Copies of this chain bind each other. A is one copy, B any other.
């Protein structure tokens, strides 16, 4: 049996009881380590489970799936994923390989940012399409996430922005030389994401375009959701561009039309009395 087990969002104890029981039954346990991270590392999980884990990087999952699935028809193998197992495309790929090899699989679900974001007070059913904000390079500065956010806002909907993670990336130089030397991991912060959005706002304003999101748009920065030191910060896009929410992982929510109960919840995470003013300013840029 192949078990795909979600680890949730915080630390080792966020695994479900069912998930922990399955892990302890398995003869091999892989830890997927490139689409998300917990606030604790591999060693903490190994100590908690009382077992060794095999780190599964992108190469192993995408090209070495046969290794992961080896003997899984006759023994139990676990594939651990931070959050819920179906957050990332490559895990569907692993499931399909198992199915085609006649290996039964079982999913043990857990919280992911896709539903845990609700704790900031924005109602889940008022979210539109989720977007990914990628690290810009000097030559690659996509803006499609901005347009999707504006589209959600024009329908009155909030947007969850998943922020880029770069793990085990090679510099172009090392890649060309075939050297397997990797850059230190990078996790986009709320501040970096807000800064990229502000640059888009600026560029489009200069181009004379109508703006669905501006410096005054009300946003919510989220850091280390589900852990003891999680931070939720409501403020304008401009304010979030200069905030420091601490270590990874970060996510950003851009608000759409707000229900009074949502405002009340956001107020618990904003400077006193600041929120009404923010909403008033933001409403003037609201396109619907």
Pair B16/A14 contact, Cβ less than 8 Å? yes
Q: Which residues of B contact A89 (CB under 8 A)?
A: 123, 261
Instruction: Return the contact of A13 from the options B11, B17, B265 (Cβ within 8 A).
Output: B17
Q: Which residues of B contact A235 (CB under 8 A)?
A: none
Nearest Cβ distance between residue A238 and chain B, in whole angstroms?
A: 27
Pair B111/A110 contact, Cβ less than 8 Å? yes
Interface residues on A, range: 35 or more
Pair A110/B16 contact, Cβ less than 8 Å? yes
Nearest Cβ distance between residue A126 and chain B, in whole angstroms?
A: 8
| Bound complex: CA A162 to CA B110 (Å) | 19
Chain B CB count within 10 A is highest, among A14, A99, A116, A127, for: A116
| Bound complex: CA A226 to CA B9 (Å) | 18
Q: Which of A50-58, A79-87, A136-144, A212-220 contacts B (4 or more CB under 8 A)?
A: A79-87
Q: Which residues of B contact A261 (CB under 8 A)?
A: 89, 92-93, 96
| Residue in B closest to A256 when the chains form the complex, CB atoms | B129
Q: Which residues of B contact A15 (CB under 8 A)?
A: 16-17
Pair A109/B268 contact, Cβ less than 8 Å? no
Chain B CB count within 10 A is highest, among A8, A11, A83, for: A8
| Residue in B closest to A83 when the chains form the complex, CB atoms | B115
Number of copies of this protein chain within its complex: 2
| Bound complex: CA A13 to CA B19 (Å) | 8
Given A86-B119, A118-B86, A124-B114; A96-B18 close (CB under 8 Å): no
Contact mask for chain A residues 89-112; partner B; CB cutoff 8 A; 1 contact, 0 none: 100110110010000000111111
User: Is residue A151 contacting chain B, with contact meaning CB distance below 8 A?
Assistant: yes
| Residue in B closest to A93 when the chains form the complex, CB atoms | B261
Q: Which residues of B contact A10 (CB under 8 A)?
A: 18
Pair B99/A109 contact, Cβ less than 8 Å? no
Q: A85-B118, A92-B264, A110-B110 are in contact. List 11 more A-B contacts (CB 8 A).
A: A8-B16, A8-B109, A8-B110, A13-B18, A16-B110, A87-B118, A108-B226, A109-B115, A109-B116, A125-B162, A127-B130
**What 4 A-B pairs are tightest by C-beta distance, nearest first?**
A86-B118, A109-B111, A13-B18, A115-B115
What are 7 contact pairs spanning A and B, CB under 8 A?
A: A15-B17, A84-B118, A86-B115, A112-B124, A125-B130, A127-B129, A129-B157
